[in-house]
Amino acid sequence: MRFRTDPSSVRGAITPLITPFHEDGSLDLEAIPRLVEWQLEAGAHGISVGGSTGEPTSQSLAERKAVMAATAEAVADRVPFLPGTGSAILEETLELTAEAQRLGADIALVVTPYYARPTQQGLYEWYAAVASEFPSLPIVVYNVPVRAAVDLAPATVGRLARDFDNIVGIKETTRDFEHVSYVLDECGSDFLAYSGIELLCYPMLALGGAGHLSCVANFAPRPVAELYDAFAAGDQERARALHYELHPLVDVAFIETNPAPAKWVMEQIGALASGFARPPLAALSTASRQRIVELLDGSPHVALPASAAA
């Protein structure tokens, strides 16, 4: 929890780690330390679990807690740890957030309550309840309208930031690029804005963003981290080049519903023993696998074995 007292230092490429499963669908907790080490060796600036890429809606509360615990132990305070603790049920969100706090999380990433489509007042009261319950834990609100079916309005984010000192940032997973601009205008330039849309990672930094959570980092951690490093060092030419080099990798990650494609690639390159994604996600189609092979052909960042084309 060494970053908890200074959330402004939580910047960079924060990997939203996949949840590894065995082929039978059970949790593969032993894979988590290996994945964390690979990420940190490649330059990742932080680790998150329990976001969309981690398949939280197909896990029990006990499983989500087990994943958080295994990851917190593996990270061991070397980089910031930002677990996702949101649920569609407030009591579950509070329970998961309490566990994250106990485990020493630096920031809790709390998704908007999905499916219910609450009003802005409902969203305000939801986040107010979480922030009030954990006043010493920094909270980043997670806006992902494509999955939650509700958009957290910039005015609501501003109201929350003004009313609760521990609401310190937002993860923006929306292609409405004006949204983050309005949020930063409402909340001030010191409010932490992270991109959750892969092809907006670079332009978000130009607006004053604090970094990004890109699912691509699961199978290509180094270029995702280097993009932030280059930007922070003032090397715009290199950052821009990496942005375009990552284009085909983004196409790979979303050829079918995330994280199934990323897990398949990770299995092919030996990062995972099994690329299993829990239902309702399905195994990749033959056509998608072939297209991934084509997209990664000649990639300087990911080399698939010849057997992947079979």
Q: 3-state SS string over 158-209?
A: HHHHHHCCCEEEEEECCCCHHHHHHHHHHHCCCCEEEECCHHHHHHHHHCCC
Residue 179, token pair as written in the block: 């949204």
171 counts as catalytic: yes
From 124, 127, 142, 194, the catalytic residue: 142
263 counts as catalytic: no
Residue 75, token pair as written in the block: 């990270």
User: Residues 140, 107: contact at Cβ < 8 Å?
Assistant: yes
User: Which of 281, 240, 254 lies closest to 56 in space, CA to CA?
Assistant: 281
What is the C-alpha to C-alpha distance for residues 295 and 310, in angstroms, rounded to an integer? 15
User: Which of 228, 222, 215 lies closest to 303 in space, CA to CA?
Assistant: 222
Q: Three-class SS of residue 278?
A: coil
* Planar angle of CA 2, 206, 108, nearest 5 degrees: 30
From 171, 194, 228, 263, the catalytic residue: 171
User: Which of 128, 133, 123, 146 lies closest to 96 in space, CA to CA?
Assistant: 133
Active-site annotation, residues: 142, 171
